[in-house]
Amino acid sequence: MASITISNFDDRIRERLEIQAAIHGRTIEEEAREILQTLLTDTTKQPSNLASLIKKRFAAYNFELPEIPREPINEPPNFEQ
């Protein structure tokens, strides 16, 4: 197995990792390994775009954004005339 070193690791992220590791009864290294393994081996997830991420983030608030009708795209300018 390989090992990695993470430089310039934000203290707030480290603290959150420590708390999450304690909640799960793991060491910080085990928790980080589990997080990376889960995120990088989950092949069921489709790549998300910004709109779907925003929709997912605010889904708990149970409101719908109104549909905004789109206008057709303008024709590009013709400079040959």
With 0.75 as the threshold, say if the pTM is over it. no
Torsion on CA atoms 8, 9, 11, 14, rounded to nearest 10: -160
Listed by start position, the domains of the chain span 11-61
Over residues 36-41, the mean pLDDT reads: 86
pLDDT, tens digit (0-9, with 9 covering 90-100), for 42-79: 766 666 788 888 888 888 888 777 888 888 999 888 88
Q: Are 21 and 27 in contact (CB under 8 A)?
A: yes
DSSP structural state of residue 48: P
